[in-house]
Structure 1
Amino acid sequence: MAVGVTSVRQAADEEARAEVDVLNSRLEKTTQLTKKIQACLGRLEATGKSVRDVAGPLSGETKKLQVLGSNIEAVLTAIERLRQPADSKNDEEQIIRMGPDKAGLPNYLASIKRLNKALSDMKASNLRSTQQTVAELQRLVKLGNTQLENSFDKLLRNETPRALEPLHFITKNKPFPVLTQDKLARLGLMNSFVAGVYRQSNPAGAPQDSPIAKIYIEIRSQYLSSALVNLATASTSTAKKKNPDAIYRAGTNGIGTYAQAMEGLFVAEYENICNIFTREDWGPVLEATCQSSLVEFGRTLRELNSHIKAHLTTDCYLAYEIVEIISQLSNNLERRTGELKSSLAASLKPVRDTAKSSLAELLEDTKRRINSLQSLPLDGAPMPIVSETMQRLQTMVDFLRPISSIMVSLGDGGWKSAVSSRGGASDAIPSLASFDIGADGKEIFAHYCTDTIEALMMGLEARARLLLQKKPVMGVFLANSVVIIERMIQTSELAGLLQNRAGVLETWRKKAASLYADTCKDVSMHLFDVIHTSRSGGGGGGGRPTSGQGGAMVDSASILKSLSSKDKESIKNKFAAFNASFDDMVLRHKGYTMEREVRQMFAKDMQTMIEPLYNRFWDRYHEVDKGKGKYVKYDKSAFAAVFQTLY
């Protein structure tokens, strides 16, 4: 049993030793393999290092070659691109030499744009080899622009009339002509290109200085000037009247038609400009285009102003008319174009200043003319200066709109100072609102009228006191003047303006009546008695009955019976003196030159003053000549009849 176990154990040990031997053998092989692998890795690492040492520089060179290749390709591409303009130069030159008309404007403009682009690229390259091509491209671009400007000039000249008659459009109320839409489109395309080039090369340049703008301004300014020249001449020629002393009448000067033509032409020109030029160029180009016409217009107004100043009393109204017409023209053009207001204001300034100063000058002229009178009519007839002065005021009402504006600018009473009436340095034209005839403008003008009337009457009174001296004829003279003034007010539009200012005339009417009444006082003195009579004889002779009391209440015979012979002689003398003075007064009254209203007024005043006194005196003393008429020339009815002949 034991032997069997031992045998088994031995057998197992042998088997284990055999497995160990196998493992040891495999381990040894693994160790050997590891050593071989390590040796291989060592050799591989040495080989990799050699490869890195060799491949590193080779990679850098490869990258350099790649960059060089890229640069070469870029240079070739750039050269190819630069060669393209040079290669296509002949094609573009052919288009340019054909001109915009033959090549077609869009095609022509596109060619110039391509040339400009190519020129810009070649300049940026700065290659010496392209300098000749750059010069050739510059020459082509310049030629293209020149031909474009020439084409603009030709087209515009062909479309601009050689002559135009403004009266045809004014009288028929037709709009002034503008360029056709197709021509405007072509002109606008040309301008947009040339103006763009101009702005690039001249960023600070004025719009009106671009080549296209200069061409437009030259052609169209000549057109406007030639269209207006005849109207300018007509405005100055119509100012010269056949009768230099005739008062200017509204609308008889050509300035109104001149202004209408200017407005129509300038508005039409503005429409053309708006279709050709860009928005920021409209104003400057319009101003420049209209400048020569405005210069001529200013010269015309200066000539008219010289004429007005030389004939101020008759032609000041032309100044008022010009102020209104040109102010309206300025407002219309500003509303429709937004331009030209300052230019028109500068042209109008001399005339406007004359219009303002005329108000004071006319007052001074009235005073000078009165003071220069060396004699006055001895019959009290009115002087022509009265009706002439009122006629001047009547005519002013026809120009109330501009006069109201001038009055407002002067201020109430501003005409009293010659300095203030000459106006300030401002060239501004008042706004449209200032031409509204408001209450202020009317009131100020009404004040001017009353100042004129007052100055007229004061001057006439002063001359009358110096030259006529006698109060009755002075009264007739002043009353005639008052009546003429009043009549000319009532028969004109002055009536509405001066209806609340009648007091000034009433004062002078009373003064005239007071002066004329002086002769009545002298006549009436003969009818006052200081005879004291007794109250016997049933007379009550000391009473002083009024003219309304009849003879039944006064017994003339009883009164005379109570008088002494001396008193009776005195009564006779009084009757005789009264008759003589009364007849003389009647004769002189009939001999005076009086307006109908004056004659009636004075006759009534005389009758009111003298008749009651005479009737009282006649009632008391008419029996002094016992009805023989030797002393008592008039009974009461005959006396009243005399006055009826005086009306």
Structure 2
Amino acid sequence: MAVGLSNGRHAVDEEARAEVDVLNSRLEKTTQLTKKIQACLGRLEATGKSVRDVSGPLNGETKRLQTLGNNIDAVIAAIEKLRQPADSKDDEENIIRQGPEKAGLSNYLNSIKRLNKALENMQTSNLRANQQTISDLQRLVKNGNTQLENSFDKLLRSETPRSIEPLHYITKDRPFPLLSQDTISKLSLMNSYVSGNSSSENSLVKIYSEVRSAYLSQTLVNLAYASVNTAKKKSPDAIYRSGTNGIGMYAQAMEGLFVAEYENICNIFMRQDWGPAFQTTCQAPLAELARTLRELNNHIKAHLSTDCYLAYEVTEIMSGLSNNLDTRTGELKSTLASALKPVRETGKMSLAELLDDTRRKVGAIQALPSDGSSMPAVSETMQRLQTMVDFLRPISSIMVSLGDGGWKSITPSNTSTDAIPSLASFDIGADGKEIFAHYCTDTIDILMSALEQKARLLLKGKSVLGVFLANSITIIERMIRDSDLKPLLEGRLGGLDTWRKKAKALYSDSCKEISIHLFDVIHTNRTQRPPSSSNESASIVKSLSSKDKDAIKAKFQTFNASFDEFVTRHKTYSMEREVRQMFAKDAQQMLEPLYNRFWDRYHEIDKGRGKYVKYDKSSIAAVFLSLY
């Protein structure tokens, strides 16, 4: 049993020694491995240092290569993108070749827009390889724009008549026609593209102006001719009457057409193009208007005394046209002012010219009627003033601009103005009427002064001169009273009263000569009271000496002769009814009381035989009544 135990411990020991040997063997291997690892670490450390020295520059170069690669990728992507327009160029070219009508306006415009965008992108890239494509795109865009302009022109012409009959719209008070809404929509769409893709002048404005300007001119041309033709009268001496010239209808048609045209322009073009488009479209018809006004002005100047009123009418009509168009469009005011300028200047000059014409006409008179009849120059001058009242609005405007009495110093240099009258300038208030009334009184005074100067040279005798002046005054007053001059000149004819007093003084001069024969210088006995009985004359005559009686007889005879001569002469004068009554009344008031007194005192000188005393009081009263 002991042996068995001893053998068991021996086996355990042996097993333990075997495990120790194994551990020692493994430890030795571990030591060797450690040495190898240490040797490797040493070598690795030396190698790592070398790697670090090399890897630094290599890392920077790697980053640069990565950036270059990214850039290359971006360029490749851009090239691929730029290749797309070139690839689709054929499709766009097909659309452009079809034109707006076949391809459809919207599709056509979108195609041009795409071509413009592609061209812009390619021009930005500036790649030499794209130069041919850029040239092709430029050609397509140019062709596209040209076809678009042609389409704009074609559509506009198809919708624009050669002309219309303006009187049809004026007489029926209808607005002038506009372009159709469908046409305006298409034209506006084309213009939107052109305006948005051009920094220079809009080419469509020029096209529009050429087409529509011809239409406006052709529509108005007959009215322009009519305005000139209606100025020509059958009788050259006939005074122009308001509304007989075609200028009013011409202006009315022009206003209607221009307003309609401005509406078309506003519906088609952008705001910045409204003014230029309207101005250029109206340029040709306005040039024709200016030519027409120049022709009318030449006619007016050649017939100033009868046709100056046409200048006033043209001034008012054209000023109204200018104001209306300016209100509705804000355009053309200066152009119309320039066209009207010659006629306005003639209107101003006419005020002074008419006064000079009055002087010239009277000055040219070679003979005056011996019966004191008035001259045609009087009624012609007053007829001129009567006619001017029909044009009081434009005349007042001209006179207000000249100032009261300004016609006295009118010269060509101080009538010129480019301004056109405003509506306010046609307000014929107190100032305008006052100035016109002053012009009328100036005209009348100039007329009367010229007539008196001429009559003093050509007429013999104060009485006939008085008759001549009085007849002229009466005709002037009658033509004022029976016309629209009356309210304007009431209370302003003090000058005529002065002329009337002068005429009466001239005529009554012969009565004064007659009255001298009725003044006695015979002195009776002053201590005796003159008899007051019915036989007064017999008592007075009885108290006279023979010499005094002879003097009284001579006075009666001289009075009879001079009075009869006066009566005969009075009846031979050609007097207006008012003049005859006025002079007859003056003669009666001056002579009859003197004669009656003289008769009362001395009629018994011939004892009723009528040898010396031709008239008694009743018979001479009858003679005076016959003078009326």
Structure 1 and Structure 2 fold alike (TM over 0.5): yes
Match of 2:506 in 1: 515
Offset, 1:48: 3.3
Distance 1:179 1:519, change over 3 A: same
Distance 2:34 2:385 in 1: 140
Distance 1:422 1:377 in 2: 42
Match of 2:5 in 1: none
Offset, 1:531: 1.3
Distance 1:90 1:258, change over 3 A: same
Distance 1:552 1:637 in 2: 20
Q: Which one of the candidate residues 544, 547, 562 is aligned to 1:566? A: 547
Q: Does 1:555 align with 2:536?
A: yes
Distance 1:352 1:592, change over 3 A: same
Q: Does 1:301 align with 2:293?
A: yes
Distance 1:354 1:629 in 2: 70
Offset, 1:69: 2.3
Offset, 1:62: 3.3
Match of 1:434 in 2: 425
- Is 153-162 or 37-46 further displaced after alignment? 37-46
Match of 1:635 in 2: 616
Q: Does 1:168 align with 2:168?
A: yes
Q: Is the 8 A contact 2:382 2:476 kept in 1?
A: yes
Q: Does 1:454 align with 2:454?
A: no
Q: Is the 8 A contact 1:185 1:276 kept in 2?
A: yes
- Correspondence list, 1:350-429, <5 A: 350-419=342-411, 423-429=414-420
Q: Does 1:153 align with 2:191?
A: no
Q: Which one of the candidate residues 525, 528, 546 is aligned to 1:534? A: 525
Distance 1:535 1:64, change over 3 A: closer
Distance 2:609 2:550 in 1: 16
Distance 1:442 1:121 in 2: 74
The residue matched to 1:261 in structure 2 has which SS?
Answer: helix
Match of 1:604 in 2: 585
Distance 1:34 1:455, change over 3 A: farther
Q: Is the 8 A contact 2:441 2:493 kept in 1?
A: no
Distance 2:38 2:183 in 1: 96
Offset, 1:414: 1.2
Distance 1:300 1:234 in 2: 10
For residues 11-47 of structure 1, give each alpha carbon's deviation from its aligned partner in whole angstroms, at most 9, with x where no partner exists.
xxxxxxxxxxxxxxxxxxxx99999998776555434
The residue matched to 1:239 in structure 2 has which SS?
Answer: coil
Distance 1:65 1:33 in 2: 44
Distance 1:268 1:486 in 2: 51
The residue matched to 1:111 in structure 2 has which SS?
Answer: helix
The residue matched to 2:244 in structure 1 has which SS?
Answer: coil
- Is 217-226 or 43-52 further displaced after alignment? 43-52
Match of 2:279 in 1: 287
The residue matched to 2:610 in structure 1 has which SS?
Answer: coil
- Is 607-616 or 409-418 further displaced after alignment? 409-418
Q: Is the 8 A contact 2:163 2:216 kept in 1?
A: no
- Correspondence list, 1:255-294, <5 A: 255-294=247-286
Q: Is the 8 A contact 1:353 1:423 kept in 2?
A: no
The residue matched to 1:198 in structure 2 has which SS?
Answer: coil
Q: CA RMSD in A?
A: 2.1
Match of 1:328 in 2: 320
Distance 2:529 2:375 in 1: 55
Offset, 1:525: 1.3
Match of 1:548 in 2: none
Offset, 1:74: 1.2
For residues 115-152 of structure 1, give each alpha carbon's deviation from its aligned partner in whole angstroms, at most 9, with x where no partner exists.
01111111122222211111111111111101100110
Offset, 1:613: 0.2
Q: Does 1:494 align with 2:475?
A: no
For residues 510-535 of structure 1, give each alpha carbon's deviation from its aligned partner in whole angstroms, at most 9, with x where no partner exists.
00000000110111111111112235
Offset, 1:55: 4.0
For residues 142-188 of structure 1, give each alpha carbon's deviation from its aligned partner in whole angstroms, at most 9, with x where no partner exists.
11101100110011001111220111111111111111222111101
Q: Which one of the candidate residues 197, 202, 206 is aligned to 1:214? A: 206
Match of 1:20 in 2: none
Match of 1:592 in 2: 573
Partner amino acid for 2:401?
S
- Is 623-632 or 241-250 further displaced after alignment? 623-632
Offset, 1:345: 0.5
**Identical-pair percentage:** 72
- Correspondence list, 1:19-418, <5 A: 45-199=45-199, 202=200, 207=201, 210-418=202-410
Partner amino acid for 1:280?
Q
Structure 1 unaligned spans of 5+: 1-30, 542-550
Match of 1:545 in 2: none
Distance 2:512 2:292 in 1: 63
Distance 1:84 1:558, change over 3 A: same
Match of 2:496 in 1: 505
Match of 1:8 in 2: none
Distance 1:311 1:426 in 2: 23
- Is 305-314 or 104-113 further displaced after alignment? 104-113
Distance 1:192 1:73 in 2: 40
Partner amino acid for 2:530?
G
Offset, 1:65: 3.4
Distance 2:198 2:300 in 1: 48
The residue matched to 1:59 in structure 2 has which SS?
Answer: helix
Please report the TM-score for the alignment, with normalisation by the length of structure 1: 0.89
Offset, 1:341: 0.5
Please report the TM-score for the alignment, with normalisation by the length of structure 2: 0.92
Partner amino acid for 1:540?
P
Partner amino acid for 2:354?
L
- Is 357-366 or 42-51 further displaced after alignment? 42-51
Offset, 1:106: 1.4
For residues 295-332 of structure 1, give each alpha carbon's deviation from its aligned partner in whole angstroms, at most 9, with x where no partner exists.
11101000000000000000000000001110111111
- Is 40-49 or 316-325 further displaced after alignment? 40-49
Q: Is the 8 A contact 1:236 1:300 kept in 2?
A: yes
- Is 165-174 or 124-133 further displaced after alignment? 124-133
Offset, 1:350: 0.5
For residues 461-491 of structure 1, give each alpha carbon's deviation from its aligned partner in whole angstroms, at most 9, with x where no partner exists.
1111111131000000000011111111111
Offset, 1:274: 0.7
For residues 363-415 of structure 1, give each alpha carbon's deviation from its aligned partner in whole angstroms, at most 9, with x where no partner exists.
01111111111111110000000010011011111111111111011111111
Q: Is the 8 A contact 2:508 2:587 kept in 1?
A: yes
Distance 2:390 2:535 in 1: 64
- Is 339-348 or 521-530 further displaced after alignment? 521-530
Distance 1:64 1:374 in 2: 119
Offset, 1:195: 2.9
Distance 1:637 1:525 in 2: 21
The residue matched to 1:177 in structure 2 has which SS?
Answer: coil
Match of 1:12 in 2: none
Partner amino acid for 2:408?
K
The residue matched to 2:231 in structure 1 has which SS?
Answer: coil
The residue matched to 2:197 in structure 1 has which SS?
Answer: helix
The residue matched to 2:428 in structure 1 has which SS?
Answer: coil
Distance 1:520 1:383 in 2: 26
Match of 2:18 in 1: none
Structure 2 unaligned spans of 5+: 1-30
